[in-house]
Structure 1
Amino acid sequence: MQLIYQGKTKDVYQLDNDRILLKFKDDVTGENGIFDPGANTVGLTIDGAGKSGLKMTTYFFELLNNLQVPTHYVSADIDDVSMIVKNAQVIGKGLEVICRYKAVGSFYRRYAAYCQEGQDLDRFVEVTIKDDERGDPVISQEALAMLGILTAAQYDELTDLTRKICDIVKAELAKKGLDLYDIKLEFGHDISNNQLILIDEISGGNMRVYKNGTYIVPLELEKAFLS
């Protein structure tokens, strides 16, 4: 295996031209020792976070694959805390796509003058540029097209797929009495056929989930959901 990238929460290894191995870490994003799925820095290390994230990710990716939703998932090894995925080309230099069901986190901080915290949102999708130096700025559909990152049609495909995936995740969580407030996804293009596919992970580390109005931290979320 050849190490090709060391990320905040995962290390990435090249297996061959078509396959990548992701090694999950116990580091999670946040600031000042407080977990925040929207943060662009490692905020703390939680023992067992990597395995917990991989368990949830495996569950959701296998579900999506069975539903014929395009993802990069191939297989997972829970004991090795690793996942084999299809090789994919990220969009631009990397985008993050957030689907919001409630006004919390950075959305509430930006628009608090116009909404109440926890207010319902109708699957609002926003796209941010992965750029730590510039604080992962939000970018509009028009700007993405002007900069040659995504065409208008590609943006529509991205947002439609985002809502489809997030509605599936939300419905699964609801079966355990868990309420999804927001979730951050990443997408790329399968290098074998250029199909838009979900990449990265789906876990407590990239979503905010509540139960009876109380926020559930990532490790507790995995236990509550998969128990």
Structure 2
Amino acid sequence: MKQLDLLYQGKAKSVYRSDEQGTLIMRFRDDITAFDGEKKDVLGGKGGYNTEVSAFFFRYLEERGIKTHFLGMIDPITMAVRDLTMIPLEVIVRNVAAGSIVRRYPFTEGAPLDPPVIVIDYKDDSRHDPMLNDDLILALRLTTREELDQIKANALAINELLKDHLDARGIILVDFKMEFGRRDGTIHLGDEISMDSMRLWDKETRQSMDKDVYRFNKGDVMTEYAKVAKRIIS
């Protein structure tokens, strides 16, 4: 497969066209950012850990009936993915109260959320990703009602699958972000599932094992990424 022109460059990934119709090339970079890009660094090896974990979870979910954009690995930091028409929504499933939900609402840090809470944000950096409700999503014509119902059902199914896998490895899935896109009239999971997009706590110590380590100076983030990647894939 031949890499063609750059299609999109995000905070930590670059997406390129390929010479195969309907297939894109997604490369994970070593960039790490926090607070809407106010804090940023380049950490050697980070892209590799996120690629490895994302590829593992995409395969894991595909085997259990979840459609994703993942096609296969090209090299340790690059994967081939289906070309989706991305829906500009960030779908967050929260199992434990932490982060912005505690700052904005009267939840106690660490309180379990049962059933899980789905929060959907409009993916727009210039507007700081404002939260949406169903009426706003439909009024903006971002999805149909049927698509929105499917996205929510997929999000909850993915949450249960990831929670089971992580719990067996001593990790609490506090919350995580997903993005979805359309392909041939069907909703697919896109983007990534990695330590950059999940909030993970060690089940025994309740210590962070994700980008919060970098965000809040809790230790060496690369050490944590290496440890959690090994536990996830074991």
TM-score calculated relative to the size of structure 1: 0.89
Aligned-pair distance for 1:41? Answer: 6.2
**Per-residue CA distance 1:83-130 (angstroms, 9 max, x = gap):** 100110011xx211000001111111111xx22111111211111111
Q: 2:144 aligns to what?
A: 151
- Structure with greater contact order relative to length (CA < 8 Å, sep ≥ 6): 1
CA contact (8 A) 2:26 2:78 kept: yes
CA contact (8 A) 2:97 2:112 kept: yes
User: Residues 40 and 108 (structure 1 numbering): CA distance in 2 closer, same or farther, change over 3 Å?
Assistant: farther
Q: 1:98 aligns with which of 88, 92, 99?
A: 92
User: Residues 137 and 200 (structure 1 numbering): CA distance in 2 closer, same or farther, change over 3 Å?
Assistant: same
Q: 1:203 aligns with which of 188, 194, 202?
A: 194
Amino acid paired to 1:142: D
Aligned-pair distance for 1:45? Answer: 2.4
- The ranges of structure 1 where at least 4 consecutive aligned residues each deviate by more than 4 angstroms after the TM superposition are 39-42
User: Residues 156 and 40 (structure 1 numbering): CA distance in 2 closer, same or farther, change over 3 Å?
Assistant: farther
Unaligned runs of 5+ in 1: 32-38
Q: 1:224 aligns to what?
A: 231
Distance 1:101 1:64 in 2: 19
Q: Give me the CA root mean square deviation.
A: 1.5
Q: In percent, how many aligned pairs have the same letter? A: 30
CA contact (8 A) 1:8 1:41 kept: no
User: Residues 162 and 41 (structure 1 numbering): CA distance in 2 closer, same or farther, change over 3 Å?
Assistant: farther
Distance 1:90 1:23 in 2: 17
Aligned-pair distance for 1:145? Answer: 0.7
Q: 1:67 aligns to what?
A: 64
**How many residues in Structure 1 have an aligned counterpart in Structure 2?**
213
Amino acid paired to 1:202: I
TM-score calculated relative to the size of structure 2: 0.86
Aligned-pair distance for 1:226? Answer: 2.6
